[in-house]
Amino acid sequence: MSQEISVLVVDCHNLVRQGLSRILTDEPSINVVGTTGDDSQLSQLASKLKPNVLLLDVNLPNVETITNSLVKTHPGVNILILSTYCQIDQALALLTSGAIGYICKDATLQDLVTAVQHAAKKEMFLDPTVAKAVIDQLAQLQTPKMQNDSSPQNWLTDRELDVLRLLCEGYMDKEIAKQLCLSIRTINGHLRHIYTKLGVHSRTEAMHLALEQGWVSLTDK
């Protein structure tokens, strides 16, 4: 993103807050505008600092209630949940409460930066571990019947279909680029075209649509 992303880091542990702040501050596109471990200060800080992204520790008491309340009172703030252990039920509950993304504390630095960048653009981001679990659930519900005129081959190129299939298998952008022997910039371009053609705004929406419609099956690998 060309515009600087302001981030408020909220974590129960002081050392974790300091570490996250230092890591994110090293990224040129990100500015950490504040940190806190006190959930009672969140609403006041969000009003004062107006961050693009609020990185929220899942271990805060009543984190679902906090998330839901912040979304209602500060609709301009995008909440990215940071979890110690990735749990699909926990992720779904927090996304339902209004969080824009969910990432684990053992994620790579690049994944954390990518998650913040997606959140700032109001694009949902899921940790790959959770994404695969979501895909597994959708795969159990998907129906294979499709009308001929609804086939994605009618509007997606072969390469875009390859990217979409790998996306649905839970691969991140860099991994897709490696699988297809393409540059990360080329993959990002394909993803933008896929989103536009499918009428979606994020990788998660694209995955949901592809699996829901039966365009991609995990057994096709």
Tens digit of each residue's pLDDT (9 = 90 or more) over 50-75: 999 999 999 988 899 999 889 888 88
More confident residue, 17 or 2: 17
Give residue 202's pLDDT.
76
How many C-beta neighbours within 10 Å does residue 101 have? 27
Q: What is the mean pLDDT of residues 131-145?
A: 53
pLDDT at 135 over 90: no
Query: Model's pTM, two decimal places?
Result: 0.64
Q: What is the pLDDT of residues 150-160, one digit of tens each?
A: 566 667 888 88
Reported confidence tier of residue 219, pLDDT bands at 50, 70, 90? low
Name the class of domain 5-126. Answer: alpha beta
Strands ordered across the beta sheet of 78-83:
30-36, 5-10, 53-57, 78-83, 101-104, 125-126
Does position 183 have pLDDT exceeding 50, yes or no?
A: yes
Beta strands 101-104 and 30-36, pairing class? unpaired
Bigger pLDDT: 197 vs 50: 50
* Across 56-60, 116-120, 138-142, 190-194, least confident range: 138-142
pLDDT value at position 150? 56
CATH domain 134-220 topology: Arc Repressor Mutant, subunit A (1.10.10)
CA angle 192, 196, 199 (to 5 degrees): 135
* pLDDT tops 70 at residue 221: no
* Pairing between β-strand 101-104 and β-strand 125-126 as defined by DSSP bridges: parallel
pLDDT of residue 209: 83
pLDDT at res. 218? 62
Q: Please tell me the distance from the alpha carbon of residue 16 to that of residue 217, in angstroms, as a whole number.
A: 39
**pLDDT band at 201; cut points 50, 70, 90:** confident
7, 54, 57, 5: which is closest to 32 by C-alpha? 7
- CA-wise closest residue to 53 among 73, 81, 28: 81
For residue 106 the two structure tokens come to 């053992």
Residues spanned by CATH 3.40.50.2300 within the chain? Answer: 5-126
Where does the chain hold its CATH 1.10.10.10 domain(s)? 134-220
Q: Report the chain's mean pLDDT, rounded to a whole number.
A: 82
